[in-house]
Amino acid sequence: MANHKSSLKRIRSSETKRLRNRYQHKTTRNAIKKLRELTKKKDAEKMFPEVVSMIDRLAKKNIIHSNKAGNLKSSLAKYVAAL
């Protein structure tokens, strides 16, 4: 266990950030799965910008790598276009 006051605070804050990042990442993954399950093009086109926005937010906060974000957006765009 840490001894310094600042390191105790760091432990608390990093745990809070970890839980928030985990929640946001899981929520985005669920949204991606829902988008891939859609079969109607109109619904998919409506949901696509929201999912892309979520992916961009994760990349901006370094929860996922920017290249991974680009790959996800590209594959989802291909999927929506092919419907």
Residue 66 lies in a domain: yes
Does 52 fall in a domain? yes
For position 4, what pLDDT does the model report? 92
What residues make up the domain containing 63?
40-83
Decide if pLDDT at 1 tops 80. no
Global pTM reads 0.85
Q: pLDDT of 40-83, one tens digit each?
A: 999 999 999 999 999 999 999 999 999 999 999 999 999 999 98
- Within-domain flag for 72: yes
Mean pLDDT of 8-24: 96
Note whether 76 and 37 are within 8 A (CB).
Answer: no
